[in-house]
Amino acid sequence: MTKRLEGRVALVFGAGCVSDDWGNGNATAVLYAREGARVICVDRNRRAAERTQDLILGEGGDAIALDADIAVSAAVNEAVARGIETYGRIDILHNNVGILEIGGPEQTDEATWDRVMAVNIKGFYLTCRRVLPIMTAQRGGAIVNISSIASNRWLGASSVTYYASKAAVNHLTQTIAVEYAAKGIRCNAVLPGLMNTPMVIEPYRALYGSFDAMVAARDAMCPTGKMGTPWDVAYASLFLASDEAKYVNGALLPVDGGLSCKSA
């Protein structure tokens, strides 16, 4: 049986995890490899990228590990160049990088605003700007951006920088989708809901008093009674990156157990 990404090269920014557990980035990179892709694992933390590479190689896949700060143009350009040098093409660009800071407009200082915007939206623009010419020359490609349902609804805790930056990711996604559709390039976004991942859990821990109280409260908000997992995001991303989604373009796909269907 042919694997869904057989013969393709996937460039995954944010392919590591902030802990040794599973996060959206390393789960997606590993799943892409399981489905036949050669994976360029990029993370700001080189060791985190190498852990993901080791997971892929340990399962018989093909991957390289690179470190790059997605908010720095030269670093993005170098990572893309290294990927092309190794594999000769890029068929899938997956943007998973994101940071979350708690605070509303009055509590958030200018430096925090600039830092979150640089990572969460400028970084996606930089990777797309560099990879789109490659995909155009290849006459095809798929871009998967990780946004959030926080891009279009209140989730109970103020994080003005996260909400605003993820809303911008949605519009970047749809702009690229329309402008590059005739060139065979698709661009879609996954909008995770309340997920049980290290990147999200750690910033919210202090708001709830204890880890158990936080998990219980977030689980209770979900129609399913449980938060989602990194693999839920990974499988949605796999669909959007594959030919099964060949006529899906500009979609903002909620992966939230139905939370978006509830009133805000």
152 C-beta neighbours (distance < 10 Å), count? 16
Catalytic residues: 162
> How many CA atoms lie less than 13 Å away from 2 in the CB half-sphere?
8
Helix ranges (DSSP H) in 102-229: 110-117, 123-138, 160-180, 198-208, 211-221
CB 64 within 8 A of CB 46: no
Residue 101 has phi, psi (to 5 degrees) of -125, 135
Using alpha carbons, select from 40, 29, 53 the residue that is nearest to residue 146: 29
- Say how far residue 193 (Cα) sits from the centre of its chain: 13
CB 204 within 8 A of CB 102: yes
Residues, the chain = 264
For 68, the token pair is 């790059």
Nearest-angstrom CA–CA distance, 128 and 172: 10
CA distances 28 to 23, 85, 192, 205, Å, are: 8, 23, 13, 25
Which phi-psi region, left, alpha or beta, contains residue 64 (left: φ > 0; alpha: ψ -120 to 50)?
beta
Residue with tokens 């490609």: 141
For 226, the token pair is 């449980």
